[in-house]
Amino acid sequence: MPKVFYVQRGKKRYAYTSTSVYEPGSKYPKTVNEYLGVLDENTGKIIPKKKRAAGDNLFESDSISGKRLGGSWFLLNLAEQIGLREDLFRSFGAEGDAVLACAIAQALSGGPFTDVEDTMNGCMVRELMGIRKSFTSPRMSEITRILGSAFHNTENLFERRLARAGDSLSYDLTSVSTHSNIGGWGEWGYNRDGESLKQMNVGLITDKKGVPAMFELYPGSVSDVSTLERTVDRVKEMGKGDCVMVMDRIFGSAGNLEYMIANGYSFALPGKKGTKCVKSLISKLVKRRHDADLWRMHDGTVYTVLEAEVAIVPKRKPSDEGEDSNDTGEYELVLDDDERFRDVP
């Protein structure tokens, strides 16, 4: 027998049923909600909904407002389209839906995780997902305890998300400012928001459409460049060593490039204009910009493209380099007109 639930709006209470049904080929149950009518507070009976003629609006005039239903429906539908609900279910079991419901509620609240309980009571995510348990304070404590000890479940989730991500991955780093210590993660470092606060760094891997696949946490003092080795190694451990890593120019130090090449990673990133060999290539490109043999078309636009092989070699004399160079104190990039180029595999 489907369970009846009520939604209070103004002075009226509206009755609905929520039923979980299994469909062939589906990995998790589908929730079907049906509007019954308005509750008569005097008699305790439900006044049935009015029947509509064919062609009438699909929504009842007294249906749930967009604020209560729309955001929940949109985020849940998005999670199902990108396979996140299925991956959470397979990684966390029955608690996977609770994790997703909390994430949706936090996104709707726009605030900290402590706001989830109140937001959950004001939206339709539980009903849409067929979750019968309420998200009281004890329940929220139970969920956070489960997540805190679910390291292997999270690793399994990352593997599943990476498997869906295709053959190219994007990597970037951001920071979260904090007034607290965050269990030792909060440290002083380069604050991207210009705030005089400690921070924690978050490394994020997405697919080429920007859908998140996994993340790594780093103390706030760790620089962008030094996070790359750990991140690409983790991606390789999870079975994606054959993909192309697409990164911002900040990660393109000669040391990082040497590490990725030595370990068989493929990558794409912009060069820095302060690098000696990049300056040389730009000069050659300017001189040959009218050479039709170098023209390439992409998305209806013609570009002049100069291809070149670059080698990473130890510097003859260690020196300091500016931030606008791919060269480092110990390594530099050279073209095939440098005699050291021939000694590099």
**296 in a structural domain:** yes
Q: Count how many Cα atoms sit within 13 Å of the Cα of residue 277 in the half-sphere of its side chain.
A: 20
pLDDT above 70 (res 340): yes
CA distance 213 to 66: 30
Give per-residue pLDDT as tens, 157-208.
999 999 999 999 999 988 888 888 777 778 888 777 778 888 888 899 999 9
Report if residue 157 sits inside a domain.
Answer: no
Tell whether the model's pLDDT for residue 59 goes beyond 80.
no
Please give the residue range of the domain that contains residue 191.
165-267
Count of other CB atoms within 10 angstroms of residue 34: 12
Q: Residue 186 sits in a domain of what CATH number?
A: 3.30.420.10
Residue 325 confidence (pLDDT): 92
Q: What pLDDT is stored for residue 214 in this prediction?
A: 94
Domain assignment present for 159: no
Residue 85 corresponds to which tokens in the numbers above?
Answer: 């609900």
Distance, CA of 67 to CA of 33 (rounded, Å): 17
Residue 83: its pLDDT value, please? 94
User: What is the mean pLDDT of the segment spanning 220-234?
Assistant: 82
Q: Among 17-31, 112-126, 157-171, 258-272, which is the least confidently predicted range?
A: 17-31
Cβ atoms 205, 169 nearer than 8 A: yes
pLDDT of residue 25: 63
Spatial strand order in the sheet of 46-48? 3-9, 12-21, 30-39, 46-48
**Poorest-pLDDT segment among 49-63, 115-129, 203-217:** 49-63
Q: Within this chain, do residues 79 and 144 fall inside the same structural domain, yes or no?
A: yes
pLDDT digits (tens, 9 = 90+) for 35-51: 788 888 888 888 887 65
Judgement on whether residues 178 and 257 belong to the same structural domain of the protein: yes
Dihedral angle, C-alpha 217, 223, 224, 226, nearest 10 °: -90
Question: Taking a C-beta distance cutoff of 8 angstroms, is the pair 215, 140 a contact?
Answer: no
Compute the distance between CA of residue 174 and CA of residue 251 in angstroms, rounded to an integer. Answer: 13
pLDDT of residue 28: 61
Beta bridge partners of 47: 38
With a CB cutoff of 8 Å and minimum separation 6, the contacts of 258 are 312, 331
pLDDT (average), residues 121-135: 86
Assess whether pLDDT exceeds 50 at residue 60: no
Report the alpha-carbon distance of residue 147 to residue 138 in Å, rounded.
14
Nearest one of 185, 175, 278, 158 to 224, comparing CA atoms: 175
CA contacts within 13 A on the Cβ side of 88: 18
In a domain? residue 190: yes
Within 41-184, where are the H helices?
66-81, 84-92, 95-109, 116-122, 125-129, 137-148, 151-164
Average pLDDT of the chain is 84
Q: H/E/C letters for each residue in 2-56?
A: CEEEEEEECCEEEEEEEEEECCCCCCCCEEEEEEEEEECCCCCCEEECCCCCCCC
Closest alpha carbon to 126 in 107, 144, 102: 102
SS3 249: helix
- Give the mean model confidence (pLDDT) for residues 87-111: 90
Based on the domain organization, do 211 and 135 belong to the same domain?
no
Do 248 and 174 lie in one domain? The reply is yes
Mean pLDDT of 138-147: 84
Determine the average pLDDT of the residues in 244-253: 91
Judgement on whether residues 311 and 278 belong to the same structural domain of the protein: yes
Question: Could you tell me if 254 and 331 lie in one domain?
Answer: no
- The DSSP element (H or E) to which 255 belongs, if any, is helix 254-262
- Of the candidates 265, 255, 187, the one whose C-alpha atom is nearest the C-alpha of residue 231 is 265
Which of 90, 121, 151 is the last residue in one of the domains?
151
Give yes or no for residue 56 having a pLDDT over 50. Answer: no
> Which residue, 202, 166, 163, is CA-closest to 84?
163
Paired tokens of 210: 């920007």
Instruction: Identify whether 160 is part of a domain.
Output: no
pLDDT at 113 > cutoff 60: yes
Q: Are residues 14 and 147 in the same domain?
A: yes
Of 10-24, 41-55, 237-251, 287-301, highest mean pLDDT: 287-301
Domain boundary among 267, 294, 328: 267
Residue 317 and residue 283 share a domain: yes
Query: What percent of the chain has pLDDT above 90?
Result: 37
User: What pTM did the predictor assign?
Assistant: 0.71
Confidence at 22, pLDDT banded by 50, 70, 90: low
Is the pLDDT score of 266 beyond 60?
yes
